[in-house]
Amino acid sequence: MNFLASKAQLRASFIRWALFLIPLIVLLGFTAGQLGSPKTVWFESLTKPDIFPPPALFGIVWGILYVVIGAALALVVSAWGAHGRGIAIIVFALHFLGNLAWTPVFFGMQDMMSGLYVLCYVVASLIAVIAVFWRVRRIAGLMLLPYLAWAIFATVLNYQFIQQNPDGGNSDDSGAAVEVTL
């Protein structure tokens, strides 16, 4: 039995999914953020690139982006019967795992190079997400473009951290003299 849903039914489905997915995406992002923090001696000791924004900006931008990401996902998930819907959800899930992994890798493990690899995966997989979302609901793909811009910025920023801190931030700059006795 094939039938089309009314606009009211589609709107109700989107609202239900949005009420579930937006808080879920925000919660997952917040939880991943708790697995590493810039408030460490290691991070504070790093030389910051010139493009490093004020730290408060990160929470604001990510909060907004997670809401938009959740809304875009809700548009796709609520598109019952749309060609490519299932694969779009799977591609998004695989992508989002990378997104959630960056904070624990960069801040938790204090591994800037692996953080860069994670961000390269995030950008590449996000381009795939935008493409598959576009096929299901164009607006959902368009909604992810600011997220792509921020992910690219984060990748450049991560790279600049590596360039300005070639020792990984692990050098002993205490200036203390070490006495060696034989």
pLDDT band at 6 (very low <50, low <70, confident <90, very high): confident
CA dist., res. 65 & res. 67, Å (int): 5
pLDDT tens sequence across 44-70: 999 999 999 998 999 999 999 999 999
pLDDT band at 37 (very low <50, low <70, confident <90, very high): confident
Torsion of CA 55, 108, 129, 11, to 10 degrees: -70
User: pLDDT for 111-120, tens place per residue?
Assistant: 999 999 999 9
* Angle of the 55-77 helix axis to the 145-164 helix axis, nearest 10: 140
Q: What percent of the chain stands above pLDDT 70? A: 90
Q: Is the pTM of this model over 0.85?
A: yes
